[in-house]
Amino acid sequence: MPTPLTALLGAVLLLGVAWALVVPAFQAPDEQSHFGYVQSLVAGPGLPGKPAPRPPFSSEQSAAQNAVNSDQTAANLLARPEWSIGAWHLFQRQDARLPARDRSDGGGTNPASSNPPLFYLYDAVPYAIASGGSFFARLTSMRIAAVLWLLVTVAGAWLLAGEVFGRDRLLQLVTAGFAGLMPMTVFVSAQVGPDAMLYALWSLALWLGVRIIKRGITPASAIGLLGVTGIAIVTKATSYALVPAALFALALGLWRIRRERPRAVRLGLAAIAALAVPVIAWAIVARALGHAVAAQVSGASTPGGTNWRQLLSYLWQFYLPPLPFMTDFTLSGGGIPAYHIWVEQGWAAFGWLEVRFPHPLYPIFFAITGFVALGTIARLVAVRARIDRAVAVFLGLATLVLLAGLHWTDYHQLVSGGGPFMQGRYIFPLVAIGGLAVAQTLSWLRGSARQVGAGVVLGGLFTLELFSLGLVLTRFYA
């Protein structure tokens, strides 16, 4: 393993564990629902989402949430979690008196119960290993297990950059460093929930797709790409957005060996099977157990169909000020929704999105984002003769389809009265592409200037991590 990657993985692991320990229990979006899903799998009654009268969480989990004041603290800057030693000893005595059945009397419908089960089966392992410990020992073990997926994300970004930039170690380090050191990526990946696994699988799929395009198709790369895509789908239904890009890379790889028809047919069938097996297997199990197969996909519509003019109006208002004749969607608390979601929530919005830096810092984050975007575009234009257009199409397809799916869901939830759906973390499956953009901007520089630039990028991200941890410490413990 290259030394820079080893050092980066070590730093990311330490930061991930720090986030797992610093953030109070259930002070991350929907963490209590994700924990309840895992506990329902391990302790019973099985897949959550059982009809009433089952509550969404077990008696043990409800008691733990009350003990740390988690529900009152969530998104409420005036409240603090309970973390005194006296409260801890009191909870220990109460927890010791709880019968075993109080871990298995939940399993009702909660915000996470419609998700596919793969991540929760993975996180059931650390839960079971720590089952002899306290409730919070199990929670912490599950968080640290989720951090391991962040290391896979970093490795996937490193490999992707190696295919794009030709094993330029500095640009690989910058790409992987961006993926592993962005504070929001680490924060989300250090909590109980499927997002850490989702980001890792997308990074691997993007690498494998570019590898097929650049090096040609092989059984390992074809089955790997479509297999990872299938596994990503049964991790979170968001990953259906990855299918068009994966099929594009597969089709291009097969087209290039079309004269070897028997081999091409075998490779194509094997790859499609690798995609279909996990998806169909989950569909069969879900149907048999009365569980939703892909609620995020099936629920992203309204009974009356789609008003396309209204949808275009929504898209305009998301990125630009509304025009006088447009229907007001009230997408955010004023201003441009894209700024609030992609910039503010993408850079730093911890806890239940209420823990943020002082407002004047976010225009600086916006300026950095714009600088990287313009630098990337200018660099691509400058070297357009050397660009692999198939790679550009593949990465662009993954980006556009994910954005289209997110906007489609957000629009339909708004018109159905369900409130806004969009959050900044939903774009993080593309964090490796974001790293490529930063590295591409840095490639303008040469020699020692590029090394200094890389140091500024990585040092800046690491410093932002430390300030972000300090911000969270101040919010919850000051």
For residue range 197-240, list pLDDT tens digits in order: 999 999 999 999 999 999 999 999 999 999 999 999 999 999 99
Confidence at 330, pLDDT banded by 50, 70, 90: low
- pLDDT of residue 9 exceeding 80, the answer is yes
Residue 301 has pLDDT above 90, yes or no: no
Does 271 have pLDDT greater than 90?
Answer: yes
17: Cβ contacts below 8 Å, ≥ 6 apart: 144, 147, 190
pLDDT band, very low/low/confident/very high, at 26 (cuts 50, 70, 90): very high
Scored b (16 or more CB within 10 A) or e, 120-135 reads bebbbebbeebeeeeb
pTM for this entry: 0.96
Task: Read off the pLDDT of residues 133-153 as tens digits, 9 standing for 90 and up.
Answer: 899 999 999 999 999 999 999
> Model confidence at 295, in pLDDT bands (50, 70, 90)?
confident
Integer Cα distance of 373 and 386 in angstroms = 19
DSSP string, 377-411: HHHHHHTGGG--HHHHHHHHHHHHHHHHHHHHHHH
Confidence of residue 300 (pLDDT cuts 50, 70, 90): low
Cα 38 to chain centroid, rounded: 18
pLDDT tens sequence across 77-135: 999 999 899 999 999 888 888 888 889 999 999 999 999 999 999 999 999 999 988 99
What pLDDT does residue 333 have? 57
Tokens describing residue 63:
């008691």
Q: 62 to each of 56, 105, 228, how far by Cα in Å? A: 9, 11, 36
CA 463 to chain centre: 22
Q: Is there a contact between 195 and 189 (Cβ–Cβ < 8 Å)?
A: yes
Query: With contact defined as beta carbons under 8 Å apart, do 321 and 336 qualify?
Result: yes
| 206, 193 Cβ separation under 8 angstroms | no
Cα 55-29-92 angle, rounded to 5 deg: 60
Domain assignment of residue 354, given as a range: 3-477
Intra-chain end-to-end CA distance of the chain, in Å: 41
Domain count, the chain: 1
**112 touches 191 (CB < 8 A):** no
Rounded CA separation 180/190 (Å): 12
HSE-up of 335 (CA within 13 Å, CB side)? 10
Contact 442, 434 (CB under 8 A): no
φ, ψ for residue 230, nearest 5 deg? -65, -40
Question: CA 97, CA 80: separation in Å to the nearest integer?
Answer: 27
